[in-house]
A = this chain, B = another copy of it.
Amino acid sequence: MGLYGQMNNKTGFELRDADYQRRVRDSFARQGLMAHLGAELVSLEPGGVVIRVPFRGELTQQHGFFHAGVTGAIADSACGYAAFTLMGAEDSVLTVEYKMNLLAPADGEELVAKARVVRSGKTLKVCMADVFVKKSGMENHCATVLATIMCLAGKADRPR
């Protein structure tokens, strides 16, 4: 048995593409919005992705905190890529829908979205993301996201 289809021991998810790290990083790098927001892919593992974005005045809502749109954008990307880690080399990823509850004002120096796959179906993967805002060394849980991500089999996620 080769690398494809082998079980990942740490997370329990089956890995269909041994080269998932490069595939996810390449796709992330093509997202113009992530660069425009200053977001970085912090870490990735099978079924899990962390994205962070440092504070800038360009990312605010009217009270000077991170705008919920930034929270939603990095949570959406984190969920989508958490699902994408488990897809095949020739698959493409699509967000079907997400729902976000804002738990506290996103007041801080950095926003971190931690996403994980909750259920990995063949076509649909359900993901959750928790978003934390860091301020003076403290992390505050400021949002939680529940997302449905779709695998488009055989439509490779390459630049058009």
A contact residues vs B (CB 8 Å cutoff): 27-28, 30-37, 56-64, 67-70, 72-74, 76-77, 92, 94-104, 118-119, 123-124, 126, 128, 141, 144, 146, 148, 150, 157, 159-160
Contact = CB atoms under 8 A, between A and B. Distances in A.
- 4 smallest beta-carbon distances between A and B, as pairs: A69-B73, A99-B99, A36-B58, A32-B60
A68 B96 contact: no
10 contacts: A31-B61, A31-B62, A33-B61, A33-B70, A72-B73, A72-B98, A96-B148, A97-B99, A99-B99, A128-B144
A124 B149 CA distance: 12
A148 B66 CA distance: 19
A69 B74 contact: yes
Main SS class of interface, A:
mixed
A63 B160 contact: yes
A124 to B, nearest CB: 6
B76 A103 contact: no
A102 B160 CA distance: 20
Contacts of A141: 118-119
